[in-house]
Amino acid sequence: MRTILHVLLLSTLLITTIQCHPKLAKPDPGAGAAENILPDTEKTDADPTGLWILQQVEGNNVGVKKGTYMVLSEQKYYLYAGCNHIGGELRVRQDSMTIKSGPSTLMACTGMEYESALSKLLQTVGTFRRSGNQLRLFAGKGVVFTFQQQTPSEHLTGRNFVVAGLTMNGGVHFAADAPRQTMQFHPDGKLSGNSGCNNFSGTYKIEGNLLYISQVAGTKRACAEKEKMEYESYFHQHLQKSPLRIEDSPSQVTLRDSTGSTVLVLGEG
């Protein structure tokens, strides 16, 4: 009998507690989370990787020189400010970013104060905001850098390129006296150019950082110069390795095969 009375008493107390404190019966999983959510205008993509062209430096009396860019990849970065390539370690977690300087090329150039100032400012960055193709880097609550992304599609489409480097016989050849080879990426998805001896045409498609080339055909002219025919043969072999991974920079485009090896280096012509 005592056991029954104890059960009834506990049941009565439990019912009374729930009635008096209804909010305790079903907690709101989203309560308190709103303060950690950025306003709609400040929502950020979590991935800052890519090729970024410097648009603006806030304060510090540092003007932007045309052609300054930074490449962010997984755990690494490098900055080019007109003279040396400055690399280092990159750590990203949610919207926090830590940049640590590392190895650099050691060319002596005029105006090196500019790249030195940018490199020092990068060490102050603590957070980032990415909105579409814009990236802003913050030190504390203030914006330090504003970058605009250059996508491979934007760089290649509608432009004419010359082959500055071609992999053959186990190495990349950058010979100044090599046969002139060209590639034109037309806006309608058509590809054309000269492979060193003959003209060629085909189609292309860019998806992210991958270049797909198909339906390649060319004229059948035989050139007297053996070197031209050799360059042409390697060129077409590389096109058949599609898809090729695009490694972009403002001044040139490196195309790599599925193993990560360079096959073509394109410069704007």
pLDDT tens readout for residues 94-115: 899 999 988 888 888 887 889 9
> pTM for the complete prediction?
0.60
Tell me the residue type at 99: I
Tokens standing for 177?
């006296």
Q: What confidence tier does 32 reach under pLDDT thresholds 50, 70, 90?
A: very low
Average pLDDT rounded to a whole number, residues 224-248: 91
Is the per-residue pLDDT at 203 higher than 90?
yes
Buried b (16+ CB within 10 A) or exposed e, 49-58: ebbbbbeebe
Average pLDDT rounded to a whole number, residues 27-42: 35
Q: What confidence tier does 45 reach under pLDDT thresholds 50, 70, 90?
A: low
Average pLDDT rounded to a whole number, residues 56-60: 83
Lowest model confidence (mean pLDDT) among 16-25, 169-178, 204-213, 242-251:
16-25
Is the per-residue pLDDT at 66 higher than 60?
yes
Percent of the chain at pLDDT exceeding 70 = 83
Tell me the residue type at 57: V
Is the per-residue pLDDT at 8 higher than 60?
no
Q: In angstroms, rounded to a whole number, what is the distance separating the alpha carbons of residues 194 and 168?
A: 18
User: In this predicted model, which residue has the larger pLDDT, 107 or 60?
Assistant: 107
Is the per-residue pLDDT at 212 higher than 60?
yes
pLDDT tens readout for residues 234-245: 999 999 999 999
User: In this predicted model, which residue has the larger pLDDT, 261 or 40?
Assistant: 261
Average pLDDT rounded to a whole number, residues 164-168: 92
User: In this predicted model, which residue has the larger pLDDT, 26 or 86?
Assistant: 86
Tokens standing for 221?
């002219």
Domains and CATH numbers, the chain: 41-150 (2.40.128.270), 153-268 (2.40.128.270)
Tell whether the torsion through CA atoms of 184, 185, 190 and 196 is positive or negative.
positive
Q: In angstroms, rounded to a whole number, what is the distance separating the alpha carbons of residues 119 and 103?
A: 12
Q: What is the DSSP letter of 27?
A: -
Q: What is the pLDDT of residue 3?
A: 39
Q: If you compute the radius of gyration of the chain from its CA atoms, what whole number of angstroms results?
A: 29
pLDDT tens readout for residues 118-163: 999 999 999 999 998 899 999 988 999 999 988 888 889 988 999 9
Buried b (16+ CB within 10 A) or exposed e, 148-183: ebbbbbebbeebebbbbbbbbeeeeeeeeebbebbb
Q: In angstroms, rounded to a whole number, what is the distance separating the alpha carbons of residues 7 and 187?
A: 79
